[in-house]
Structure 1
Amino acid sequence: MLDHVSIGVSGIARSKRFYDAALGALGYRCLSEDETTLGYGKDAVAFWLGAVATPVPADSGSNLHFCFVAPSRQSVDAFHAAAVGQGGSDNGGPGLRESYGPNYYAAFVVDPDGYRLEAYCARPTAG
């Protein structure tokens, strides 16, 4: 349904460090970069970041978040550790969310601009 999503960030360099680490743990990388934009994906850009003076204000009650597919439960763990290690905030550590489904393994963080992010793996084992 969606081809890509774009968000505004307050600092491209800070965002690059954060997203290179967090999304890199999931097998995604920066495929496009210039002074004001970054584009992340696996084979094509699906997540764009653009430098803006005023990013959308963080609102934990909005239910807005971005969920990234993870290839394994270990990569969900790595995503969470990398995101927190690069200035993100914990918003729910890695683990099963059985109320979402029997194999819903996810972790939740907030990026340095206040965007809520999730990494999710549906695989039934720790692999």
Structure 2
Amino acid sequence: MIDHLGIAVTDHAKARGFYLSVLAPLEISIVMEVSAEQTGDQAHTGFGNQGKPFFWITGGKKEAAPGTHIAFGAQSRGAVDAFYHAALSAGAKDNGAPGLRPHYHENYYGAFIIDADGNNIEAVCHAPAA
């Protein structure tokens, strides 16, 4: 089981705002922030829910790791759709519109975007259509 994960971002403030709006439809918000002064290095923002951060961004890196893929679970197909539209509105690039991906399994409903640092971010719902 994965407890938490993090990605490097080149512009912490921009990425913070992007993920704040994009993850809201998935009921994920900022749970914790650690300043550069506190770490002695870079600022960190932890997103999660129920008081637990599980997705972290770390700012000020010269470049993000290429090919990073993160999939966030969604409670409904509508939440996947909302994630995708929020991401495009926030400046992300389309990497796969919301829809079924039956090659994974019959109810795999996902959407994929590329963030400003080239990360492949997905929202996925595994439940059957309501």
- How does the TM-score come out when normalised to structure 2? 0.88
Residue correspondences, number: 122
Q: CA deviation at 1:33?
A: 2.0
Identity of aligned residues (%): 39
The correspondence for 1:100, drawn from 100, 104, 126, is: 104
CA RMSD in angstroms, aligned pairs only: 1.3
Stretches of 4+ aligned residues off by more than 2 angstroms: 55-59
- How does the TM-score come out when normalised to structure 1? 0.90
Unaligned residue ranges in structure 1 (runs of 5+): none
The correspondence for 1:41, drawn from 25, 35, 48, is: 48
Equivalent residue number for residue 66 of structure 1? 70
- C-alpha distance after superposition, 1:7-56 (max 9, x if no partner): 11111111111101111111100111244111001121001111133233
Report the more deviating stretch, 112-121 or 31-40.
Answer: 31-40
Structure 1 CA distance for aligned equivalents of residues 57 and 16 of structure 2: 9
Equivalent residue number for residue 113 of structure 1? 117
Secondary structure in 1 matching 2:13: helix
Equivalent residue number for residue 79 of structure 1? 83
Secondary structure in 2 matching 1:25: helix
Kindly indicate whether the alpha-carbon contact (under 8 Å) linking 2:29 and 2:49 is maintained by their aligned counterparts in 1.
Answer: yes
Give 1 or 2 for the bigger CA radius of gyration.
2
Structure 1 CA distance for aligned equivalents of residues 91 and 119 of structure 2: 12
**Structure in which a larger fraction of residues adopt helix:** 2
